[in-house]
């Protein structure tokens, strides 16, 4: 990785973090990274629905929403340094990372970079819809494939046809950003390193063809603390398909409560 040349300073943030409603009384700051093609808007409702003990801070990547005219990053090694420099001020209090699919891979590498650079480390890493990062990828890369192949992959993930995506004018406008996001995810190279010091919570959809239970369980290699795996009904986009089911469990995990929600199955791995 093109490492940061100096430790980021804990000053004000710039364009990456979306803080609609700072909550100085919150116990924890939750930094959220989206799936490929997603934006900060995917987490807008979370800040309204989660209790005020949790301050939700979505991360807005270039190439979408108010940053649409900015060129999206195509390589994780290029994305991490400016992102970490910008959000460093938000690491001044207890915090956790949530990442979905592509965002999960970014969040994992950010946690490693925080430790490497001597920055405050997260209390927890929460990932959804991504196999453990050391595992080989099963899917054929599509970031440089013809549009119909990329749309077919999207259809596999959300259970719709490639034609439905091809006929979506917004998706066609977003095609360069989608390609860039898939490139970030598909060209990511895992570099062996010590496990994270924080606990890792892994979420998966039972009908998600992009992950298996074994691939989710394998995240246990990446935490020196503990790893918990929770499975939900639904496919790849289960966190947003049924927030009434997902968000209460997320809140319990963040605040260290014993979950009273029985709609998921889970397993834990300790060290």
- Domain ranges in the chain are 28-270
From the list 101, 210, 220, 223, the catalytic residue is 101
What's the chain's average pLDDT? 88
Quick one: pLDDT at residue 183? 97
Location of structure tokens 């190279």? 189
Quick one: pLDDT at residue 12? 44
The answer to whether residue 265 scores a pLDDT higher than 60 is no
Q: Tokens for 50?
A: 């989660």
Residues making up the chain, counted from first to last:
271
> Is the pLDDT higher at 53 or at 22?
53
Per the CB < 8 A criterion, the answer to whether 231 and 206 are in contact is yes
Quick one: pLDDT at residue 28? 96
pLDDT band at 50 (very low <50, low <70, confident <90, very high): very high
The answer to whether residue 110 scores a pLDDT higher than 70 is yes
Q: Could you report the per-residue pLDDT of 195-228, keeping only the tens digit for each?
A: 999 999 999 999 999 999 999 999 999 999 999 9
Phi first, then psi, for residue 77 (nearest 5°) are: -65, -25
Q: Could you report the per-residue pLDDT of 144-199, keeping only the tens digit for each?
A: 988 888 888 888 887 554 555 566 777 778 899 999 999 999 999 999 999 999 99
161 catalytic? Reply is no
Rounded to an integer, what is the distance from CA 43 to the centroid of its chain?
11
Mean pLDDT of 9-24: 72
> Is the pLDDT higher at 206 or at 138?
206
Quick one: pLDDT at residue 160? 56
Per the CB < 8 A criterion, the answer to whether 84 and 110 are in contact is yes
Assign a CATH topology to domain 28-270: Rossmann fold (3.40.50)
Mean pLDDT of 58-70: 95
Tell me how far CA of residue 151 lies from CA of 121, 157, 247, in angstroms. Answer: 37, 10, 29
Quick one: pLDDT at residue 252? 96
Please give the model's pTM, rounded to 2 decimal places: 0.89
């Amino acid at each position: 990785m093109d490492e940061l040349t100096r430790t980021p300073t804990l000053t004000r943030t710039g364009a990456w973090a979306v803080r609609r409603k700072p909550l100085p009384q919150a116990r924890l700051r939750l930094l959220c990274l989206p799936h490929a093609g997603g934006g900060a808007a995917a987490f807008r409702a979370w800040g309204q629905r989660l209790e005020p003990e949790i301050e939700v801070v979505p991360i807005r990547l270039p190439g979408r929403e108010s940053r649409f005219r900015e060129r999206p990053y195509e390589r994780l090694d290029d994305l991490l340094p400016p992102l970490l420099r910008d959000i460093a001020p938000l690491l001044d209090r207890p915090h956790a990372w949530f990442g979905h699919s592509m965002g999960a891979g970014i969040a994992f590498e950010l946690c490693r970079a925080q430790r490497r650079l001597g920055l405050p480390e997260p209390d927890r890493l929460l990932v959804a819809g991504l196999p453990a990062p050391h595992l080989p990828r099963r899917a054929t890369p599509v970031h440089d494939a013809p549009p119909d192949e990329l749309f077919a992959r999207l259809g596999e993930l959300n259970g719709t046809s490639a034609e439905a995506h091809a006929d979506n004018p917004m998706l066609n406008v977003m095609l360069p950003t989608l390609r860039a996001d898939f490139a970030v995810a598909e060209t990511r190279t895992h570099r062996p390193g010590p496990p994270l010091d924080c606990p890792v919570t892994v979420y998966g959809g039972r009908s998600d063809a992009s992950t298996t239970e074994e691939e989710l369980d394998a995240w246990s290699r990446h935490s020196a603390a503990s790893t918990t795996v929770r499975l939900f009904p639904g496919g790849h986009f289960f966190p947003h398909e049924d927030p009434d089911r997902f968000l209460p469990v997320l809140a319990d995990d963040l605040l260290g409560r014993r979950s009273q929600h029985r709609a998921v199955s889970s397993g834990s791995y300790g060290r």
